Structure 1
Amino acid sequence: MRQNTRNAPAGFATRAIHLGYEPASEHGALTPPIFMTSTYAFESAEAGAELFRGERAGYIYGRNRNPTQALLEERIASLEGGEAALAVASGMGAIASLLWTLLSAGDEVVIDHTIYGSSFALLTKGLTRFGIAVHPVDMTRLETLEAALTPKTKLVFFETPANPNLRVIDIAAVAERAHAAGALAVVDSTFCSPAIQRPLQFGADLVVHSATKYLGGHGDLLGGLVVGPAETIKQIRTVGLRWLTGATLSPINAFLILRGLKTLELRMERHCASASALAELLASHPAVARVSYPGLASFPQYALAKRQMSLPGGLIAFELEGGVAAGTALMNRLELITRAVSLGDAETLIQHPASMTHSTYSAEERQKHGISDGLVRLSVGLETLDDLVNDLAQALDSLRA
């Protein structure tokens, strides 16, 4: 990227669009090319040996790295404020590659009790099969975190905002306590993207993303990212990606995520603005029992959310007065808003966590961890706001008829 004439750091959107690529390096092509190759030729036998020993920079095999992936990694590291990044095939691939690299039998992990269902299953049902102890706690209550930390704790893992009920966790406070115990703080920041939250700035050691969501932004790809110190990312690439998971991101999906980054800042502004309006509608409607949205003054962690997040996000969680039956009726009544899991798409999506994304939790675990059977999660898309308001309002009104 060419230096700007003011000698000032380039802005977020400028880096998302230009960083790491000069059209002149690729025959003047404005858009970076997709490198569709699985293997790479060596200049000589000696050069190949040097690459394998790590004495020479370059590419060896597509499972480890590809130039299209490398550009994505450079950009996301810059946007998150990290030294380096690793692109992999999915968000779960990012988490698994990180965990399998940094943990061994006998280690302990402390997790927040409210996280994505598949992450919860990997940690509490997967890792524990291999001699790793996992302790779920309520990280909004720091005393429960402190009580769970031991000399064997290697990682503290949490989401903020949390999936699906949008609880916000104090990144700086958790990181401080993790570090005091000799552990790393790992944050899943998928619900925000680096456009509105950068956990490394608050003391986190590593950040993971499902790039399937806001980073890609169009519901047409799977991808994951890990951002953190260069040496740790190198270790995760060499061990977690290359040997343990093989969760390689395809060059085409790396290209699509790069394309998504170009509009990320603009899209997040629209997601958040529309979500704020729909949250106000929900909060004022008599059919709604409670709304959880970081942008509402009634949100229990409103001040913390404003401190950590530049915008309140594009997701809303709410419960209806009629419980599960009312939630089912509402979702079936909607005409524009789509019944589907995932989030961060251009389309507005609605789902029922207890029977869908968080069905890996037992009923007892859901009750204990704040995921009620009546909870509904809304991912607000990019449609015309009036159309979303009209669709949600008519579905809510039908519950009172």
Structure 2
Amino acid sequence: MSKHRSRTLGERTLAPETLMMGFGYDPTLSEGSIKAPIFQTSTFVFKSAEDGKRFFEVAYGLRQKEPEEALGLIYSRINNPNLEILEDRLAVWDAADKALVFSSGMAAISTTMMALSRPGDVIVYTAPAYGGTEYLFDRILPRMGVRTVSVADCDGGEALAAAIRSASAEAAANGGRLAAVYVETPANPTNQLIDLQAAAACIRDLGLAEPPLLVVDNTFLGPLWQKPLQHGADLVLYSLTKYVGGHSDLIAGACLGRADLMARVGEMRTICGTITDPHTAWLLMRSLETLHIRMERSQANARTLVSRLRGHPKIEAVLDAGGAEASASQQALFARQCSGAGSTFSLRLKGGEAEAFRMLNALQLFKLAVSLGGTESLVSHPSSTTHSDYSPEAKARCGIGDNLVRLSVGIENADDLYADLERALAAV
């Protein structure tokens, strides 16, 4: 399929939000439709037997793709026009060689980590992390012979660097390797930031012929407010369900990065069948057109709420990325690594679970639900929901107390949202 892939207008380089309106799509190939239709098909017709052979040679890695050769359409478990257009547009935001879309954020994470690791390997990961990610690393990967090392106190970077060096040495001594360093930044739900440049430098300093890959979950800030690939990451992951999808009506995930690494991830996706469907891809293309508008508005609302809630008599702390209550090192890191704090932050209430539940049950505009990044404002209690599989010791180590409440701020009127929070806090 011929595509429109120009990123310039004369001498001018076009912004991502402009490219979202047509990049990767040629209307003349679809009866002039201004939007790409949904290619709801399982299989695609080859023009010739020779084409079929060529397509499969590339798809199954039997030969290297020619420089200007596109992967021909074969079967929607491998590729699909909607997926290809979507992946082209996603890659624009992070300036990545290639993007791949999956059926969920966890499908993206698990497929990627299986593609990068083998029995005998070690993976170092930062905590806290999303509960599903923690479950994968703590319970699933060890069953497959992959040892995992969790690092919780990452402020300043010394603990993570020490864990990387120790895990690499131990893996080598046992005939294995440190396969990856997995970072979620900002962390869910505490908004702790990890220094990506420092982590990448530590990996380089190992001096290994096959260095571990730095893999970053960038879901919390999304492609607007943080660019991990620019700070030394090898791969970046998203739950597209969140800000990119943005309407609480789909489930999807993505992995982006260098072409050679993405080929490894793509092979695993093809065989595991973790690709997303054409309709979901079409919905995501719709969402990308308003991504910057939605994220800018929700961030502005969150800033208003954070400023009003900070110092509230019922609140012990407001946890926003690089915020006024963060350490000096976290604030300095935020200034270097992020262009915005996003719209998801947490509150530590004075009290415990009872006080948190009274607040949650009193809210009316904030919807009590897991997930984040939608147009509507959501609120959740991580300790009893998304992070309930953490042990009591792990919760304490990661700062996930029973008094922690996480807010995902939407695009409603900020004054209305604050009035809802004020009423709810009065019930605590």
The normalised TM-score by structure 2 is 0.90
Q: Give the match's secondary structure for 1:344.
A: coil
Residue equivalent to 1:29? 33
Q: Distance in 2 between matches of 1:143 and 1:105?
A: 28
Residue equivalent to 2:47? 43
Question: AA paired with 1:260?
Answer: S
The 1:128/1:187 distance shift into structure 2, 3 A limit, reads same
Deviation at 1:303, TM superposition (A): 2.5
User: Does the aligned pair in 2 maintain the 1:139–1:174 contact within 8 Å?
Assistant: no
Residue equivalent to 2:414? 385
Q: Distance in 2 between matches of 1:4 and 1:156?
A: 36
Question: AA paired with 1:286?
Answer: P
Residue equivalent to 1:329? 358
Counterpart of 2:191 (choices 166, 186, 209) is: 166
The alignment yields a C-alpha RMSD, in angstroms, of: 1.5
Residue equivalent to 2:62? none
Q: Distance in 2 between matches of 1:127 and 1:81?
A: 30
Residue equivalent to 1:289? 316
Q: Distance in 2 between matches of 1:269 and 1:314?
A: 9
Post-superposition Cα deviations, 1:105-142, rounded to whole Å, max 9, x if no partner, equal 00110000210000000011110111111000133342
Question: AA paired with 1:241?
Answer: R
Question: AA paired with 1:147?
Answer: A
Is 1:115 the counterpart of 2:140? The answer is no
Q: Distance in 1 between matches of 2:106 and 2:7?
A: 36
Q: Distance in 2 between matches of 1:86 and 1:316?
A: 28
Q: Distance in 1 between matches of 2:266 and 2:215?
A: 17
Gaps of 5+ in 2: 59-64
Deviation at 1:32, TM superposition (A): 1.3
Counterpart of 2:162 (choices 118, 132, 147) is: 147
User: Does the aligned pair in 2 maintain the 1:179–1:185 contact within 8 Å?
Assistant: no
User: Does the aligned pair in 1 maintain the 2:127–2:187 contact within 8 Å?
Assistant: no
Q: Distance in 2 between matches of 1:192 and 1:62?
A: 30
Counterpart of 2:80 (choices 51, 57, 66) is: 66
Post-superposition Cα deviations, 1:300-322, rounded to whole Å, max 9, x if no partner, equal 22232232221111111111112
Q: Distance in 1 between matches of 2:335 and 2:405?
A: 23
Residue equivalent to 2:283? 256
Post-superposition Cα deviations, 1:119-169, rounded to whole Å, max 9, x if no partner, equal 000011110111111000133342222322214211000111110111011
Deviates more, 1:255-264 or 1:50-59: 50-59
Deviation at 1:47, TM superposition (A): 1.9
Post-superposition Cα deviations, 1:262-290, rounded to whole Å, max 9, x if no partner, equal 11111111111111111122213100011
Residue equivalent to 1:232? 261
User: Does the aligned pair in 1 maintain the 2:161–2:199 contact within 8 Å?
Assistant: no
Question: AA paired with 2:378?
Answer: L
Is 1:127 the counterpart of 2:127? The answer is no
Q: Give the match's secondary structure for 1:18.
A: coil
Question: AA paired with 2:38?
Answer: I
Counterpart of 2:295 (choices 251, 263, 268) is: 268
Matches within 5 A, 1:9-24: 9-24=13-28
Q: Distance in 2 between matches of 1:385 and 1:360?
A: 33
Q: Distance in 1 between matches of 2:145 and 2:7?
A: 51
Matched length: 397
Gaps of 5+ in 1: none
Question: AA paired with 1:279?
Answer: V
Residue equivalent to 2:269? 241
Deviation at 1:362, TM superposition (A): 1.0
Matches within 5 A, 1:365-380: 365-380=394-409
Counterpart of 1:348 (choices 370, 377, 386) is: 377
Q: Give the match's secondary structure for 2:12.
A: coil
Q: Distance in 1 between matches of 2:319 and 2:122?
A: 31
User: Once the two structures are aligned, what percentage of the paired residues are identical?
Assistant: 40
User: Does the aligned pair in 1 maintain the 2:157–2:195 contact within 8 Å?
Assistant: no
User: Does the aligned pair in 1 maintain the 2:38–2:278 contact within 8 Å?
Assistant: yes
Q: Distance in 2 between matches of 1:142 and 1:390?
A: 39
Q: Distance in 2 between matches of 1:147 and 1:322?
A: 35
Is 1:298 the counterpart of 2:313? The answer is no
